[in-house]
Chains A and B, each alone.
Chain A
Amino acid sequence: MTAVMPDRKAHAAAPRKRRRDRGGVLGSTGLYVATGVAGLLFLVPFYLLVRNSLSTDAEITGENWQFFPTDLKWGNIGELFDDPTVPFARSLWNSAVVGVLHTLGTLLVCSLAGYGLARIPYKHANKVFYGVLVTLMVPSAVTFVPSFVLVSSLGWVDSLRGLIIPGLFSGFTCFLFRQYFLGFPKELEEAARMDGLGYWGAYWRIVVPNSLNFFAAIATITFISGWNAFLWPLVIGQNPDAWTVQVALSSYMTNQTVNFHLIFMATAISILPLVFVFLFLQRWLVQGIAQTGIKG
Chain B
Amino acid sequence: MSTTTSRGVSHPAPAKAASARPRRGLRGGATFNFWLFTGPFLIGLLVFVYVPIGWSLWLSFFEARFTVTPDKFVGFDNYRQMLENSNFTGSLVTFTVFAAFIVPLTWALSLGLALLVNRLRFMRAFFRSVFFLPTACSYVAASLIWKMSIFSGVRFGLMNTVLGWFGVENIAWLANPDPPWYWLVIVSARLWLQAGFYMILFLAALQNIPPELYEAAAIDGAGPGWQTFRHITLPQLRATSTAVILLLLVAAYQAFDEFFNLLSKTTWGRPPLVELYYTALGQAQDYGAGSAGAVILTLLICMVTLLQGKFMGFGRGEEAE
Q: Please list the residues of chain A having a beta carbon within 8 angstroms of any beta carbon in chain B.
A: 1-8, 11-12, 14-16, 18-19, 22-23, 28, 31-32, 34-35, 38-39, 42-46, 48-49, 52, 60-63, 65, 109-110, 112-113, 115-117, 120-122, 125, 128-129, 131-133, 135-150, 152-153, 165-166, 168-169, 171, 174-175, 178-180, 182-185, 187-188, 191-196, 198-200, 203, 206, 210-211, 213-214, 224, 227-228, 230-231, 234-235, 246, 249-250, 252-254, 258, 260, 263-264, 267, 270-271, 274-275, 277-278, 282, 286-287, 289-291, 293-296
Contact = CB atoms under 8 A, between A and B. Distances in A.
Given A14-B211, A141-B273, A188-B14, A135 B116 contact: no
A206 B18 CA distance: 15
Interface string B208-225: 111100110010000010
Contact of B149 (A48, A129, A168, A185): A48
A1 B301 contact: no
A187 to B, nearest CB: 6
Contacts of A290: 200-201, 204
Contacts, number: 397
Given A137-B302, A286-B200, A291-B5, 17 more contacts: A11-B211, A39-B131, A43-B133, A45-B149, A112-B41, A128-B42, A131-B45, A138-B49, A138-B305, A139-B254, A149-B55, A150-B48, A153-B69, A179-B317, A214-B5, A287-B8, A296-B312
16 contacts: A11-B207, A11-B209, A45-B142, A113-B38, A120-B37, A122-B34, A145-B280, A146-B59, A169-B45, A171-B45, A191-B16, A194-B20, A213-B9, A235-B281, A253-B147, A271-B141
Contact of A145 (B136, B161, B218, B287): B287
Interface in B14-32: 14-18, 20, 22-23, 27-28, 30-31
Contact of A210 (B9, B20, B214): B9
Given A133-B314, A200-B33, A289-B200, A228 B139 contact: yes
A154 to B, nearest CB: 9
Given A179-B1, A277-B136, A296-B308, A146 B317 contact: no
Interface stretch (B97-105, B177-185, B290-298): B290-298
B117 interface: yes
A5 B14 contact: no
Interface in B121-164: 121, 127, 129-150, 154-156, 158, 161
Contact of B207 (A7, A128, A144, A294): A7
Contacts of B192: 42, 45
A206 B10 CA distance: 12
A44 B137 CA distance: 13
Contact of A146 (B20, B240, B254, B291): B291
A169 B46 CA distance: 9
A148 B120 contact: no
A87 to B, nearest CB: 16
A2 B208 contact: no
Contact of A289 (B69, B138, B201): B201
B250 interface: yes
A116 B37 contact: yes
A230 to B, nearest CB: 5
Contacts of A278: 129, 132-133, 135-136
Nearest to B51: A150
A136 B305 contact: yes
A165 B47 CA distance: 11
Contact of B197 (A121, A200, A289): A289
B264 interface: yes
B172 interface: no
B75 interface: no
A113 B40 contact: yes
Contacts of A294: 201, 204, 240, 243, 312
Given A112-B37, A263-B148, A65 B161 contact: yes
Contacts of B317: 178-179, 182-183
Given A166-B48, A169-B49, A200 B207 contact: no
10 tightest A-B contacts by CB? A116-B37, A146-B56, A113-B41, A3-B4, A146-B52, A169-B44, A228-B138, A14-B211, A4-B204, A198-B27
Contacts of A174: 41
B257 interface: yes
A110 B42 CA distance: 10
A60 B134 CA distance: 23
B204 A142 contact: no
A246 B15 contact: no
Nearest to A291: B5
Contacts of A224: 135-136
B138 A270 contact: yes
Nearest to A214: B8
A195 B140 contact: no
Interface in B68-105: 68-69
Given A182-B321, A183-B320, A194-B22, A253 B1 contact: no
A184 B243 contact: no
A7 B205 CA distance: 11
A138 B44 contact: no
